[in-house]
Amino acid sequence: MNGVLVLEDGTVVRGRGFGGEGEARGEVVFNTSMTGYQEYLTDPSYKYQILMPTYPLIGNYGISSEWFESDRIQVEGFVVRELCREPSHGRMEKRLDTWLEEEGIPGLEGVDTRFLTKKIREAGVMNGILKVPYEEGEIEELKEEVRRMQSISDVDLVEIVSVKKPVVHQGEKANKTVVMIDCGVKMSIIRSLVRRGCRVIRVPARAKREEILGYNPDGIMVSNGPGDPKRAGYIVDTIKEIIGEEIPLFGICFGNQLVGRALGGDTYKLRFGHRGGNQPVKDVQTGRVYITAQNHGFALDAESLGDEVDVTHINLNDKSVEGIKHKSLPIFTVQYHPEAHPGPWDSDYLFDEFISLMERRGGSKR
């Protein structure tokens, strides 16, 4: 099959289609990880986005469901330089192109992904339409349609990816209860807590204060998720209501932005975002630098944060906020992903710090 990607600035990129047939519409973004295509294809934070890895060879170790971050592919479309059709791995269940075809997700290969990455870095992320197959006579119409597409900031994507009713995750020896406000959580975050003896109660993004506190949690987490944090004001309102309970609160990625907004801060859209497993982050308290896994297109404005909030981590590439901590309340957040998957495990210790914080505070048990 033939395929085409049309960007809102009029750029037309042709290639070979694979996976599902049809159209994919969304914001075109790139990821710099060298491995982990299964993890980022199933990451709910990629909703309403067409994903392009910068690493040229994709699919070489096939697909294994044990590495999924959700129960389905979350990206709208997939663009690669070279698709491997003869993968090899002992745990492989199927090929990448077979998986995309089963889930109806269109892919495009044979594309100059370096050209597209440079374009996005210079011009910023932009909307696109990926169509497989296509006719040449459709190009002008596709150009018009992509210019009329909604911005990612105009859509509440959290409602789409959040659970609709509470779900409990726990191992054999659970001795702490963590309520997870699910904005599109990666399963690796939940697994990281379960391994540490937590009973994780995953609640819908619109769960109210009374429901969350009704579980008598030792700690509360606000997860990663897709889209613009300004569209999720209902979660910010809930966070504001539970802050006064002084229950340990940990936010990751989108959760960092929402907690920051609840503490009086503002957020803004990054030019092309941070997506990949090689982002350098500095702990400003210790001076130590960590290589981190990231996936976000928005960030907290450091100048908007009040006197009660310290910026604890910064991105060394652009000095954007990568972590905050409240001076008197048991609240801390990070913009990057300590659970990695894919990416380095340098920051896995943050889950241990959350556990220690719950132990020191004694949870909300009264």
Catalytic residue numbers? 253, 337, 339
Would you say 38 and 75 are in contact if contact means Cβ atoms under 8 Å apart?
no
Nearest to 60 by CA among 84, 38, 40: 84
Strands 22-31 vs 126-132: parallel, antiparallel or unpaired:
antiparallel
The rounded distance, in Å, linking the Cα atoms of 55 and 147 is: 28
- In this structure, which amino acid lies at residue 248? P
Nearest to 132 by CA among 83, 68, 59: 83
DSSP letters, 175-234, are: -EEEEEE-SS--HHHHHHHHTTTEEEEEE-TT--HHHHHHT--SEEEE---SS-GGG-HH
Q: Which residues contact 210 (CB under 8 A, 6 or more apart)?
A: none
Q: Which residues contact 99 (CB under 8 A, 6 or more apart)?
A: 19, 63, 73
Would you say 67 and 150 are in contact if contact means Cβ atoms under 8 Å apart?
no
The rounded distance, in Å, linking the Cα atoms of 78 and 85 is: 15
**Phi, psi for residue 12 in degrees, rounded to 5:** -125, 120
Nearest to 322 by CA among 335, 310, 309, 332: 335
Would you say 227 and 158 are in contact if contact means Cβ atoms under 8 Å apart?
yes
What tokens were used for 100?
Answer: 């995309």
Determine the 3-state secondary structure of 249 from DSSP.
strand
